[in-house]
Structure 1
């Protein structure tokens, strides 16, 4: 049965009053307890839940962000693309504030996101600006780019299809200090070492997007210089949404 507070919150969200909607939802916890709010959130449409939780991050805590379950959060976070945020800043802030909240298991949240249709894309959006370093970590088990080619750090075999929970890779002092940064490094480390199947799918999407990005930059440089791209006999890259995300060839 839908609580009056849920109906009120939906009306406030429709009116653009996100703070008021959050207050209406929190009133459930104030009067009936946290568990009642968690149960009530099951009645709140995912798009409305997203409208509330995306407005808060680690700098502005929300009771909703502190109580939303991994399943509820996953259903909401995959809708973030509807907002068209090209920088994905709010997506990163929202994910970080929820999965790294006190007492939470980040791997559980990331697993649930990966299980939802569109979850791989959401995680790829989250890591997109760090694609080269995610690739570097996959190959060398370190985020320290200065370790590249160092005899102490040998590249892993590029075998995404047989990726497992191998955690024997070396980690640089920089990594050891930053692996619990409650940000993209920690997310990458968790995906690679605890959720390898999800990491594989996300990395393939990152590779495809990075290839498209490099092709776009090359085309823009040619246009600025007045040159014409040579026909290499290959099919041109399609738009990001249409490209086969399962392309495993690294572009980094």
Structure 2
């Protein structure tokens, strides 16, 4: 039998009373305990749970984000891709919602990523999550750091300028078709150095704990960048380096004059 709280919460969500729906669930946790709330969340439709979590992220916390299980969360967050929102609205909302749960505690990021990477759409969702940071993520993948001289504030700034050229994409794809594996660098920094509770820490955990999934993520990102370049019909810059490995720009050499 469906719990009365589930029916009531669903009705409030349909009426657009998201804050009231969240308050009803919080009241259950306060009176009956967190486990009772987890049981109710398990009965809720993922779309209803997502409706609440979208309104309460790391900037506006809710007990829902603190107690939702990895399975419940992933079932809900995967629906984000179906809303069809403009990218500039979708990506920040997705990142904020994911950060609120993934970085709620020391082990939460591993638990969420483990569940997420097991799903068919998991890698695509992660690629959405890292939108605006593709170049920095690839630097981290192939060089073990986000930038030459790591600067937390600079690294967190969104960047949309991509450095891969079409020839590098072709060579990378040929290598993958031949069954070759990417040569990914180990992180050259500790988790504490990138503990931002945001995309950099997520990238570190993903690279450190889920190497195969991280490699698939890089492939997905490179494919998106290639399609973006082809769609733009912009002659790509020529960048020297190993096939499939973006080269970190070195400091300009001093003039000999």
- The normalised TM-score by structure 2 is 0.74
Query: Does 2:144 match 1:126?
Result: no
Counterpart-to-counterpart distance in 1, 2:13 and 2:145: 43
**Is contact 1:75-1:116 (8 Å) kept?**
no
C-alpha displacement of 1:83: 2.2
**194, 214, 226: which one aligns with 1:211:** 226
Q: Which shows bigger deviation, 18-27 or 72-81? A: 18-27
Contact persistence 2:5–2:40 (CA under 8 A):
no
Matches within 5 A, 1:1-252: 1-85=1-85, 86-87=87-88, 88-146=91-149, 162=181, 167=186, 169-171=187-189, 178-218=193-233, 250=244
Q: Is the 8 A contact 1:164 1:196 kept in 2?
A: no
Is the alpha carbon distance of 1:4 and 1:192 closer, same or farther for their aligned partners in structure 2, counting shifts above 3 Å? same
Unaligned stretches of 5+ in structure 1?
Answer: 148-157, 222-248
Q: CA 1:2/1:28 → structure 2, altered by over 3 Å: closer, same or farther?
A: farther
Aligned mates of 2:231, 2:193 — CA distance in 1:
32
Tell me the distance in 2 between the aligned counterparts of 1:115 and 1:54. 23
Q: Give distance in 1, aligned partners of 2:101 and 2:139.
A: 27
Residue 59 of structure 1: how far off its partner (Å): 1.3
Distance 1:165 1:106, change over 3 A: farther
Distance in structure 1 (CA, Å) of the matches to 2:226 and 2:245: 5
Q: Confirm or deny: 8 A CA contact 1:165 1:194 kept in the other structure.
A: no
3-state DSSP of counterpart to 1:61 = coil
- Aligned-partner Cα distance in 1 for 2:182–2:32: 46
**TM-score, L = length of structure 1:** 0.75
Between Structure 1 and Structure 2, how many residues are aligned? 210
2:130 match: secondary structure: helix
Partner of 1:233: none
1:186-244 Cα deviation digits (max 9, x unpaired)? 1111111111121122111111111112222336x9xxxxxxxxxxxxxxxxxxxxxxx
Please say if residues 163 and 196 of structure 1, whose CA atoms lie closer than 8 Å, have aligned partners that are also in contact.
Answer: no
Distance 1:251 1:46 in 2: 39
> How far did 1:105 drift?
2.5
Shift of 1:37: 0.4
Unpaired runs of at least 5, structure 2 = 151-171, 236-242, 247-257
Shift of residue 62 of structure 1?
Answer: 0.6
Q: Offset at 1:81? A: 1.1
Determine if contact 1:74/1:112 at 8 Å carries over to the other structure.
yes
Matched residues in 2 for 1:176 and 1:103: separation? Answer: 11
Rounded to whole Å, the distance in 1 between the matches of 2:101 and 2:23 is 18
RMSD of Structure 2 on Structure 1 (CA) = 2.6
Contact (CA 8 Å) 2:58, 2:99: kept in 1 or not? yes
